[in-house]
Amino acid sequence: MTLTATALNFAYDTRPILQGAAFDPLQPGELTALIGPNASGKSTLFRVIAGLLTPSAGTVMLGDTDLATLPLRTRLKRVCFMPQFFAANAALTVFDVVMMARKNLSGWRVTTEDMDAVGEALHGAGIGHLSEAYISDLSGGQAQMVSVAQALIRQADVYLFDEPTSALDLHHQLDVLSRIRATISNRNAIGIVALHDLNLAARFADHLILLRQGTVLAEGAPAQVLHQPEIGATYGVDIHITTGPKEDLVVHAYAS
Amino acid sequence: MPTDTTPPLTAQGIVTVYRRRSGRRVALVALAALALFTTVVIDVITGPADLSFWRVARVILNPSVATTREEVIIWDLRLPVALMAVVVGAMLGAAGAEMQTILNNPLADPFTLGLSSAASFGAALAIVMGLSVIPGVGGLFVTVNAFVVSMLASLALFAFTRLRGVTPEAMILVGIAMLFTFNALLAFLQYGASELQLAQLIFWQLGSLARATWEKVGICLIVLAVVMPYFLSRSWALTALRMGENKAAALGVNVSVLRLMVLAGVSLLSAVAVSFVGAIAFVGLVGPHIARMIVGEDQRGFLPLSALAGALILSGTSIASKAITPGIVYPIGMITSLIGIPFFVSLILSQRKRHWQ
């Protein structure tokens, strides 16, 4: 099963955000990084794929299914979208909110199985010690890790993460992206992560999509995309790529 | 950063702590229910007529042993009042909990959006102008007027928010506009009212359980039986809403529809409650706050406990309204705040976390 977008158009009132955004089929088990400068339409593209916004033109296909034909609830069960921020003044504990994500609005009762799954998820994510903390007391980074845990506890075909690492320190950036990558691969699901850090994108993604002003400028393997001249032009910087000590790509950016 | 003295290290440890908290939550709800039962019993055995606990219990369990006087006092006066306090308190507590949830505003209560001023205006129409909105309802026309005008106000609110977008901001702003509109209209009627009518109107607004009858208790129970299962069935969605619209929408919650449906439920609960007993504002605000401080905002505990807390406050008030001056039953609207506020303030002071910011 692959995920494909063709010629997506979307505008807020008269301000066009997506203009013919399209990408080649994304393969299951692979992690794709969606990169692009601020306001290039990354979040909007995610919302259109998830079905939270309706495009004025274009389709999103998951396998043979046109996602537009599914009811929203069904669609959101197959496409798990993690928004960038959440409001956190509620008197809910971390355990409560991850349980809420697991129950996914169905079934009032919480079973032992549910509790074990949430316990495992929190433990695995390294936030077990926060389990009984109120979300209003979390730091930005902790809240982001809870958000990722909420997304990963759900079983879906497609996972969309809107900047899951923007508030995290180095250690946790690597940790969260490794976990996302491993989960996508284990579940043979399709994963897209919006990232600002090109080095992280190069390191963790199998595939890159470069978005600029609502159009996909380049897509393909990280080495291929990062070596294209468009990338510097898109971000308005000079970009040089070198190879790091572990045969990884290292992106150097200089103000132009 | 929150610090836990003994951080649970294993997945099972995490589950154990959660289980313990869930168990405590169930125990607290049970305890609240028990406390409520106790207040109801006290409410029934206290009053101007001196009847002992055992005599009251016998009359309730076996009505045939009662003298006519006892039957009237217990079955026609005290029981309806005691039960009315419970059902109206539960209605206001539940309505307040969901109003705070959908408006994402801890200062919201069932009356934030002008529903009680609308009800007062409806009652004033009846008392001052002798005008019945629905003809042919006979002696109940004050109540029916209050209910109908209050529901009309919430319908108008509905229509406005549909036009303007179903956001908490739009709902609150339109609600405040309604509040002032109805207050102004009410002032107009008061200005033209006779002294007798004015006294009657103020007495109505103060809120009183003395107008309770079995029929009214029954109607309240029916409304609760319709609205509460709906609220409970939307528990996860409402909990999700507390994490913000985006998060809830990403889980598949249709936020606008949820807000409108819950608003309809809240309107029905508060309109019925207010039209029967008058404006008792404090319960719908404080009941949910007490519940939130005790069990948090997982709706599965929050909603039942908000309702129970509301019922407890009003039942306690009913007792206090008789106990302050023997022989006089004060209107409960006056008493609610007086006995509720010290308790509420002590809860605020003892709580480290502030979720209403």
Please state the ipTM of this predicted complex.
0.88
A133 and B10: CB-CB below 8 Å?
A: no
Q: Tell me the sheet residues that pair with A160.
A: A81, A192
Taking the C-alpha atoms of residue B318 and residue B260, their distance in angstroms, rounded to an integer, is 33
Closest chain B residue to A95, measured at CA: B18
The region that residue A80 occupies, defined by phi over 0 for left and psi between -120 and 50 for alpha, beta otherwise, is: beta
User: Chain B residues within 8 A (CB-CB) of chain A?
Assistant: 1-2, 4, 7-15, 17-19, 21-22, 104, 232-233, 235-237, 239-240, 242-244, 246-247, 249-254, 292-293, 296-298, 300, 353, 355, 357
Instruction: State how far residue A128 is from chain B, nearest Cα, in angstroms.
Output: 7
For the cut 60, the answer to whether the pLDDT of residue B2 exceeds it is: no
What percent helix, strand, coil does chain B show, rounded to 5? 75, 0, 25
In the three-class reduction of DSSP (H, G, I as helix; E, B as strand; rest coil), residue B163 is classed as helix
pLDDT value of position B357: 47
Listed range (A190-194, B212-216, B348-352) with the worst mean pLDDT: B348-352
Closest chain B residue to A125, measured at CA: B11
pLDDT averaged over chain B? 85
Taking the C-alpha atoms of residue A161 and residue A203, their distance in angstroms, rounded to an integer, is 17
A136 and B355: CB-CB below 8 Å?
A: yes
Instruction: State how far residue A251 is from chain B, nearest Cα, in angstroms.
Output: 33
Tokens of B111: 């009356």
Count CB atoms within 10 A of the CB of residue A223: 12
pLDDT digits (tens, 9 = 90+) for B127-173: 888 877 777 666 678 888 888 898 898 888 888 877 877 788 888 88
pLDDT value of position B354: 56
pLDDT value of position B6: 52
Tokens of A168: 């995290």
Is any Cβ of chain B less than 8 angstroms from the Cβ of A132?
A: yes
Which among B8, B247, B253 has the least Cβ separation from residue A128?
B8
Taking the C-alpha atoms of residue B347 and residue B353, their distance in angstroms, rounded to an integer, is 11
pLDDT digits (tens, 9 = 90+) for B4-53: 445 556 888 899 999 999 898 889 999 999 999 999 999 988 877 777 78
pLDDT digits (tens, 9 = 90+) for A98-148: 999 998 888 778 899 999 999 999 999 999 999 999 988 888 899 999 999
Instruction: State how far residue A1 is from chain B, nearest Cα, in angstroms.
Output: 22
Is any Cβ of chain B less than 8 angstroms from the Cβ of A69?
A: no
A91 and B249: CB-CB below 8 Å?
A: no
Residue with tokens 């509420």: B344
Tokens of A226: 């990062």
pLDDT digits (tens, 9 = 90+) for B222-281: 999 999 999 999 999 999 998 888 889 998 899 888 998 998 899 899 889 988 888 787
Instruction: State how far residue A61 is from chain B, nearest Cα, in angstroms.
Output: 19
- Output the 3-class SS for A71-109: CHHHHHHHEEEECCCCCCCCCCEHHHHHHHHHHCCCCCC
Angle between helices B255-277 and B79-103 (to 10 degrees): 150
Tokens of A138: 């979390």
- Could you tell me the CA-to-CA distances from B258 to A209, B101, B119, B261 in Å, in that order? 36, 11, 25, 5
Count CB atoms within 10 A of the CB of residue B132: 17
pLDDT digits (tens, 9 = 90+) for A59-99: 999 999 999 999 999 999 999 999 987 767 788 999 999 99
Taking the C-alpha atoms of residue B250 and residue B261, their distance in angstroms, rounded to an integer, is 19
Chain B residues in contact with A130 by the CB 8 A cut-off are 2
CB B274 within 8 A of CB B205: no
B355 and A93: CB-CB below 8 Å?
A: no
Instruction: State how far residue B355 is from chain A, nearest Cα, in angstroms.
Output: 6
- Could you tell me the CA-to-CA distances from A55 to A3, A52, A216, B89, B154 in Å, in that order? 16, 10, 16, 47, 34
What lies within 8 Å, CB to CB, of A64 at 6+ separation is none
Taking the C-alpha atoms of residue A198 and residue A185, their distance in angstroms, rounded to an integer, is 21
B252 and A77: CB-CB below 8 Å?
A: yes
Query: What amino acid occupies position B81?
Result: V
Q: b/e per residue, B185-224, with b = 16+ CB within 10 A?
A: bbeebbeebeeebbebbeebbbbbbebbeeebbebbeebb
Chain A residues in contact with B7 by the CB 8 A cut-off are 128-129
Residue with tokens 């994963």: A191
Strands A57-62 and A237-243: unpaired
B17 and A142: CB-CB below 8 Å?
A: no
Tokens of B194: 């006779």
Residue with tokens 């308790």: B343
Closest chain B residue to A154, measured at CA: B251
- CB interface of A with B, residues 170-199, below 8 Å: none
pLDDT digits (tens, 9 = 90+) for A10-60: 998 889 999 999 999 999 999 999 999 998 999 999 999 999 999 999 999
Taking the C-alpha atoms of residue B166 and residue B61, their distance in angstroms, rounded to an integer, is 50
Taking the C-alpha atoms of residue B305 and residue B55, their distance in angstroms, rounded to an integer, is 32
pLDDT value of position B327: 77
Chain B residues in contact with A159 by the CB 8 A cut-off are none
Closest chain A residue to B243, measured at CA: A87
Closest chain B residue to A49, measured at CA: B250
Is any Cβ of chain B less than 8 angstroms from the Cβ of A111?
A: no
Phi, psi of A191, deg, nearest 5: -125, 135
Closest chain A residue to B4, measured at CA: A129
B253 and A105: CB-CB below 8 Å?
A: yes
Instruction: State how far residue B32 is from chain A, nearest Cα, in angstroms.
Output: 20
pLDDT, greater one: B330 or A158: A158
pLDDT, greater one: B58 or B79: B79
pLDDT digits (tens, 9 = 90+) for B318-357: 998 888 887 788 888 888 877 777 777 877 777 655 554 4
Q: Tell me the sheet residues that pair with A239.
A: A253
